[in-house]
Amino acid sequence: MAEAVLIDFFGLKFNSQKNSHQALLKTLNAVRYHHAAKAKFLCIMCCNNISCERNGANNNCELEASNGLSTLLREFETVSNPSMAASLYTIKQKIDEKNLSSIKVIVPMHRKTLLKAFIDQLFTNVYSFEFEDLQVTSGGGPLKQSTEINMITAQEIEAIQNEIQTHLRSLPALKGELTIITSPLISDTFLHGFTTRTGGISYIPTLSSFNLFSSSKRRDPKIVVQENLRRLGNAAGFNVEKFYRIKTDHANDVWIMGRKEPESYDGITTNQRGVTIAALAADCIPIVFADPVRKACGVAHSGWKGTLLGVAMATVNAMITEYGCSLEDIIAVLGPSVGPCCFTLPRESAKGFHNLDPECVRLFDSPNPYVDIRKGTRILLERGGILPQNIQDLNQDLGLCTSCHPDKFFSHVRDGLNFGTQIGFISIRE
């Protein structure tokens, strides 16, 4: 049974107001009879004026109604907007506020393909949709429908994406201004930074607001994340068309740009100007590397597994092998991550850090000792030959732990599976 029911009146054409109201009464009564008992959200979507046009058609949809229809409409939430993108985005917000995922869409036959195309852009696989034809009288009756359209062209898909993007660009930033944390160790040869959770448009509580990763398991669609990334590119000064992020596997594989891209990797290196590379994180450490002498850079995603597997030095070694970098020239900046105050591992997993250095583990004899993945990363970098003065630990310098600061950072430890993602990024200026 659907948790939410959406009725699309966006494309209906009205002839006689009296007859139209009778048809609407019949339709809405049927929906209420079949769904009101179990559905937690009943919604009507329509234009907000009498001459809303789409594809040259005059789609009149006015719901100021007679007494009977007015009474019935109080049981439905009406979303009115001349933009389909704005209407559906508003409806998605209302569905997400109620944490619903099973949705029935009752839509005129000729609009089903179009509506599905909008839904594909705005919703992820978290949601399930069931479609039902909107049954209204035809053949000279009060409401007329066109025939079903089964195909949608690439140009129409592009137009839908443009309409959604235009709406998203109009939205205000949430939770404050966009903030980029930078390191004084990295020279102006590079653009770089670490994001926080403020200044984006994502509204899901655990993703709000500057979430920079979309997946089928999250409610933030790709097009929203792309808007957040666009805003970051504008603020930082990089080209989002040349933006590449790691494909996390919690291991130690590194992609050297210019070579064949692996299926997954937790490090990237490049010496290409104008290309921005990024490491994702939500408690794991995003590490940024820069060599101002050889003008090369890298990023690594270092969780507890990747730390023990040596992903940080694997990235450094790729820079040395591929670009002729020297250990004494490489700068390493450890971005915001979970601190030893909040991160625990089962004792068996914590042994690797205890073997690395007992100071990496607190309460080692307990079932779930506290582990300092940052100290472990620094130790491995120094043992690998990176100069201590060329390593900056932002957690230590700024007193930041991702789990301890819900106002500033996303955290898997704190927020659970539906967590947001921040990044560390770097590029060589063109």
Domains of the chain: 4-48+69-137+149-169 (3.40.50), 173-428 (3.60.140.10)
Q: Which two tokens stand for residue 80?
A: 């009115």
6, 128 Cβ separation under 8 angstroms = no
pLDDT one digit per residue (tens) for the chain, 430 residues: 899 999 998 866 554 455 566 777 888 888 888 888 889 999 999 875 433 433 434 444 555 555 666 777 888 999 988 899 999 999 999 999 999 999 999 998 889 999 999 999 999 999 999 999 987 654 434 455 555 567 889 999 999 999 999 999 999 999 999 999 999 999 999 999 999 999 999 999 999 999 999 999 999 999 999 999 999 999 999 999 999 999 999 999 999 999 999 999 999 999 999 999 999 999 999 999 999 999 999 999 999 999 999 999 999 999 999 999 999 999 999 999 999 999 999 999 999 999 999 999 999 999 999 999 999 999 999 999 999 999 999 988 888 899 999 999 999 999 998 899 999 999 999 9
CA distances from 116 to 59, 78, 91, 143, 200 (A): 18, 20, 14, 22, 26
Query: In this structure, what DSSP letter does residue 260 have?
Result: P
How many other C-beta atoms can be found within 10 angstroms of the C-beta atom of residue 369? 22
- How far apart CA 61 and CA 69 sit, in angstroms, is 14
pTM for this entry: 0.92
Contacts 24+ apart (CB under 8 A), 394-400: 394/181, 394/183, 394/194, 394/333, 394/334, 394/335, 394/336, 395/334, 395/336, 395/337, 395/339, 398/181, 398/336, 400/336
In sequence order, which ranges of 45-153 are alpha helices (DSSP H)?
A: 67-73, 84-97, 112-122
Average pLDDT along the chain: 90
For the stretch 180-227, pLDDT in tens is: 999 999 999 999 999 999 999 999 999 999 999 999 999 999 999 999
332, 289 Cβ separation under 8 angstroms = yes
Task: Extract the runs of DSSP E, i.e. beta strands, from 233-380.
Answer: 243-245, 254-256, 267-270, 276-281, 285-291, 296-302, 331-334, 361-362, 370-371
